[in-house]
A and B are shown apart, each in its own frame.
Chain A
Amino acid sequence: MNVLQTLIDGVALGAVYALVAVGLALIFGVMRLINFAHGELITAGGYTLALASAWPKAAAIALTVVVCVVLAWAMERIAFRRLRNVAPATTLVATFAVAFTLQAVWLIAFGPQGESADVLSGLNQTAVSGELSIRWITIVMLITGGLLLAGTILLLNRTTIGLQMRAAATDFRAARLLGVRADTVISVAFVIAGVMAAAVAVLLTVQRPLVTPTFGLQVTILALVGVVVGGMDRLWTATLGGFAIGFATSVLGEALPSDQRVFLPSAVFLLVIVVLLLRPGGLFAPRGAGGVERV
């Protein structure tokens, strides 16, 4: 096993999981909602790619972005907006309801076997061969991840709406008292989450073109674990957490002998438990920030 090779693959998958984490963390930041239904946006993106696989590639990708963004926006508008002032446990259950409802829709519409979203499989060819073997998709994951993360940071730090989102994430009521529109900042957070989900769907289907009803769910559960391990309260710790879980999954996957790959999730979760025992406040939380008294 080539160490550099393993690292590069790990960073690339980490970048994809970081995008899932950004979608989760932005919504958690502005409305304290753990959006379990985020995975269904990714699944919707996957099916869109499958259905549009005969289209020109750019058009298929553009359609995927549109579908994911519209679905994200509609999710908030239809399901979560009314629940803004209820207890967090209630909204969490509501996100389960949305997730499972959409999974039933996927199952009825597309069946359990899955659809093939074979749009960008050309990216599986190697770009660099020799000592290191790097496929195009690895490079595309790194670039896409980097650009979207940089774009999010610029939006948050350099625009008025970004400033309003940061304010709302710290103190929503104080922000509204200044005239920040709750509906707008929340909608923008969902729209960004939709863009991230579309990107994740496009990137993941290159290596795993088979889109099943639980396509996005698996990715999201893992990313959610990463977000919690990293520290959910801050965007950057949550994003790093997502990155770390993607990285760990990739590295452990390559380290495990192929007949033991079924143990990969167990190995990842074992690692998660160890981390949580050592750093209960979050892997990347500033020292001394953890351990909130809750009981």
Chain B
Amino acid sequence: MLEIRDLEVRYGAVPAVRGLTIEVNEGEIVGLIGPNGAGKSTTLLAVMGAARVRRGEIRVRGSSIVGARTEDIARSGVSLVPEGRHIFPHLTVDENLRLGLVGRRDRDGVRAGLDWVHGLFPVVGEFRHRPAGALSGGQQQQLAIARSLLADPELLLLDEPSLGLAPSIVGDLWDTLGEIGQRGVTILLVEQRAQITIELAARTYVMHNGEIRTSLTPADAGDTDRIAAAYFGAKA
């Protein structure tokens, strides 16, 4: 579904992603973890055409999307839930959701899509007429994910969805991500919470300083030493 080969992205002279290669197969949930500044968000922005690719290749369903416009990528079945949510605080919850529909390729399933996200995240129905900025952080995160799902993406990119959420809520969110994966949506999950990401994902890449250091599977989830070593950059 998503193939990134030898990706390089720089901000000015500073390299943020250096020769990154990862693959996400159809229907998989794949994790991407790493410390602050590792280049995780930059990688997702490059996929969305929102960070300029210096070198390398990004393919979705086999066709290259390097150089395509952000809005065209968003309309082609790829959706990003950005870091920090980026809901529109002055618009109502309903209006935020309607903006999710902009990226949809076909209009047929709108009704069913709305029912689905309202089932997954009842809060977006309950507070539909409130300004989105009046929701709590966790509710805003749910809104941001619901909004992306309404684009009916084949590939869902999530940038630190657990940020600022209480542990019990993260548990619920993880169940929901599992459910979304069950529906056939392919997921690339960027996270700081290493352990639970490794447990959920078929494969979790560990990123450091713009490079992939190693990849872990759920079998490694119990091996905290190995995770810590990979995460904090000691040679594994």
Q: A residues within 8 Å of B by Cβ? A: 160, 163-164, 166-167, 170-171, 173-182
Contact = CB atoms under 8 A, between A and B. Distances in A.
Contacts of B103: 178-179
B131 to A, nearest CB: 11
Contacts, number: 63
A181 B72 CA distance: 8
Given A163-B95, A163-B98, A173-B50, A179 B88 contact: no
Given A178-B99, A179-B75, A179-B103, 5 more contacts: A160-B98, A166-B95, A170-B89, A170-B90, A176-B69
A174 to B, nearest CB: 4
A87 to B, nearest CB: 15
B82 A179 contact: no
Interface string B35-66: 00000000000001010000000000000000
B99 A167 contact: yes
A179 B98 contact: no
A76 B98 CA distance: 28
20 contacts: A164-B102, A166-B91, A166-B95, A167-B88, A170-B90, A170-B91, A171-B86, A173-B70, A176-B50, A176-B69, A177-B48, A177-B50, A177-B70, A177-B74, A177-B80, A177-B82, A177-B86, A179-B74, A179-B151, A182-B71
Contacts of A160: 98, 102
Contacts of B210: none
A175 B69 CA distance: 13
Quick one: which of B50, B86, B91 has the most chain A CB within 10 A?
B86
A176 B71 contact: yes
Contacts of B100: 178
B18 interface: no
Contacts of A164: 99, 102
